[in-house]
Structure 1
Amino acid sequence: MLDINKVPSPCYVMEERLLRKNLSLIKHVADTAGVEIILAFKAFAMWKSFSIFREYIHHTTASSRYEARLAFEEFGSKAHTYSPAYTEEDFPEIMRCSGYITFNSFSQFNRFYPMVKASNEKISCGIRVNPEYSEVKVELYNPCAPGSRFGITSDLLPDELPEGIEGFHCHCLCESDAYEFGRTLQHFEDRFGHWMNQLKWVNFGGGHLMTRKSYDVNHLINLLKEFKSRYPNLKVILEPGAAFAWQVGPLVSSVVDIIENHGIRTAILNVSFTCHMPDCLEMPYQPTVRGAETLSFDAVKSAKQEDHIYRLGGNSCLSGDYMGSWKFDHELRIGERIVLEDMIHYTTVKTNMFNGIRHPSIAIWHSDDTLEVYRDFHYEDYKNRMS
């Protein structure tokens, strides 16, 4: 059991026990459905933990030259790589580090496939397709929003695919359930079923939040089995990111000051929403705080004066670097630990050093109840980013 008092503050801390629980479920889905499920680095790239991942999965997905290199050098296998656009500068190393490369447009395919064909690398190429359907509500995260720059629509595909295109990549989900995937799959087949017999593989991207407690895993398995029965020639790939690191650990912070303005009390923390939890502001969503009740706007209005209600404020100079409100069962004190739950997926890869604010340490709490600190951050890390 994680002992918060043994964790430095601030610190992202991942629990090995919870990680292995997610990995076991994901492996069960892959084995039972007969598909491959790979880790998307865009949501999680804590490479010092890859030895644990390799016990359950074999490959990862990359969206850039650096992610592809991380896959090759630290995960130990070639990446499934997709980027909205490749450059001549990056592409040779992407080829060296990738086993699959997906192109976003025919323009990109025509420009770079000759390099793949002329190389000695064994690379399977594909094209991203856009079924023009997604149930993602927040447009910032909707890959199929009107005018999307992602993928080719069915009306732009020739009846016979160009030589070298062996797969389709389709990503339309975000923290979605199996039933959303089922409806998306129907739209995908309606638009692209014509080309399935010309392909070797199909990648259904990320957003399959199969480790969420309410997710119907059996329905997902049945959908995948039925799809494979219709297209036995295809290898099926899924590349979730959040599902791997869903609820595997918190961000541990501390109260450094408490201020009050017009009756609103704010506990200022030694972390920042804009620096260390940017998804909270982008999505937006209010994270769970251990030992506190998340309050709606109406609940705050009807609260009693003696209730222990606080906003949580970050320690940057951005005016909007705060969230709230939470109800605690006691008066907060300076130095008290505040534990923000589920802060490993996406959060750890999207952080920044705006204002030169100290970056939280990164650690893992092992199954034998020992803490291993993967990384501490210092002034030199900030200085080198600015040079």
Structure 2
Amino acid sequence: MLEQIPSPCYVLEEQKLLSNLQTLDYVQVQSGAKILVALKGFAFWRSFELLKPYLYGSTASGLYEAKLGYETLGGRESGKEVCVFSPAYKEEEMRELVKIATHIIFNSFSQWQRFKGIIEKANETLIKEGKTPIEVGLRLNPLYSEVSPMIYNPCSPKSRLGIIPSEFEKGVREYGLEGISGLHFHTHCEQDSDVLERTLGHIKAHFESYLSKMKWINLGGGHHITREGYNLPLLISLLKDFRANYRVEVFLEPGEAVGWQCGFLIAEVVDVVQNEGSVAILDVSASAHMPDCLEMPYRPKVTKLSNGVLEEDCGENIAPYTYRLGGNTCLSGDIIGDYSFHTPLKVGDKILFDDMIHYTIVKNTTFNGVPLPSLGVIKQNGDFELLKTFDYSHYKERNG
């Protein structure tokens, strides 16, 4: 079957996605928290029918993600949440968001004051129609995060994300908190629950007097809940205690934990060249198709498919045949990494990059006119289905 999948192609494995969802639902049932899928990390919407029975809705970073979540997972009419946070909104975006959002979170008091009237007017209409009004929240910065590298740290010095404690106190004195029903904290990235435990200490140190005044607290994403070895009992205990102590509803909004280890990117070896070692040039790009390999940096696990035989990589310079896997763009640093195998790579061999469903499709580009990978799924019964392909028209439409 793998040899029949076109290259390049992102492939979702439904059974692995279901396993993640069942783990997330276990956390919900045991802790009482509500989990939303963060579309910034996982937006493979053709799989969202699988998400509906398990998750409470979606969380968006702006208008387009909010519309996608509303259209594919549902909104207040179907009992689902559409939670939106953006560092800054435009008026035309806000007028569209109030039609679909259940929660709107602001990054500053000034943005809240600017759009307060639009939300209040929308809520008047919703209440007249017997519908649940929009909840409003503020994102706060507790000045503590263990995220590394710094490019991913939302609490880095001079961060633009979240209201720092001193500015929050000034805002409360000037505007009060009438109309604010929730607070939002996002300080994690691929981290375990012990980090949440330490972070909660900083949240309480700066904002504890306000927590019990809220209806809900959103503890953001970056909780690596579905990773093997994650401390689920500690997470559940922390969430239960937090809900009980402050009598609030608690949201989590992971994206990566939803799509974690539930699919791969399949590529093809196009050429092998020599320059102080063997360099395999592929029909995929780190820069265009898996940018976390350069940003994080991140070294994905690789499996080689040659003549119907699968072989996992042995690491760097361990097995007899070592190759630098590179992309097909002009960027000299378009390098995925060095990998070694017990058998040689040849043109036409397939390369499977593991764990490539989250933070790939949502971030890919057509840099250099490189084609976007197709989208496919391995169904629960083991069959492969090709969902979408991309051609020249997609590149042209994105450039004018």
TM-score normalized by structure 1?
Answer: 0.95
Letter aligned with residue 260 of structure 1: Q
**Deviation by residue 1:200-230 (Cα, 9 ceiling, x = unmatched):** 0000000000100020111100111111121
Paired residue total: 375
Aligned-pair distance for 1:98? Answer: 0.4
Distance 1:383 1:153 in 2: 43
Distance 2:145 2:138 in 1: 19
Aligned-pair distance for 1:380? Answer: 0.8
Partner of 1:91: 94
- For the 8 Å contact 1:65–1:93, the answer to whether it is kept is yes
285-294 vs 61-70, which deviates more? 285-294
Distance 1:323 1:6 in 2: 24
Letter aligned with residue 286 of structure 1: R
1:182 correspondence with 2:197? yes
- Secondary structure of 1:381's aligned partner: helix
Partner of 2:392: 379
Aligned-pair distance for 1:149? Answer: 0.5
Letter aligned with residue 108 of structure 1: Q
Partner of 1:50: 48
Q: Please, which of 3, 10, 13 is the counterpart of residue 11 of structure 2?
A: 13
- Secondary structure of 1:79's aligned partner: strand
Aligned-pair distance for 1:11? Answer: 0.5
Aligned-pair distance for 1:144? Answer: 0.2
Letter aligned with residue 39 of structure 1: V
- Secondary structure of 1:347's aligned partner: coil
Partner of 1:322: 335
Q: Please, which of 371, 381, 388 is the counterpart of residue 368 of structure 1?
A: 381
- Secondary structure of 1:98's aligned partner: coil
Letter aligned with residue 71 of structure 1: G
Q: Please, which of 291, 294, 300 is the counterpart of residue 287 of structure 1?
A: 300
1:201 correspondence with 2:216? yes
Partner of 1:357: 370
Aligned-pair distance for 1:197? Answer: 2.3
- For the 8 Å contact 1:71–1:97, the answer to whether it is kept is no
TM-score normalized by structure 2?
Answer: 0.92
Partner of 1:23: 21
Percent of aligned pairs with the same amino acid: 43
**Deviation by residue 1:147-181 (Cα, 9 ceiling, x = unmatched):** 10111122222467421111000000000101011
Q: Which residues of structure 2 form unaligned runs of 5+?
A: 76-80, 127-132, 304-311
Partner of 1:71: 69
Letter aligned with residue 46 of structure 1: F
- Secondary structure of 2:263's aligned partner: coil
Aligned-pair distance for 1:96? Answer: 1.0
- For the 8 Å contact 1:100–1:124, the answer to whether it is kept is yes
Question: What does residue range 107-126 of structure 1 map to in structure 2 within 5 Å?
Answer: 107-119=110-122, 120-121=125-126, 122-126=133-137
Distance 1:260 1:188 in 2: 54
- Give the RMSD, CA atoms, in angstroms: 1.2
Q: Which residues of structure 1 form unaligned runs of 5+?
A: none
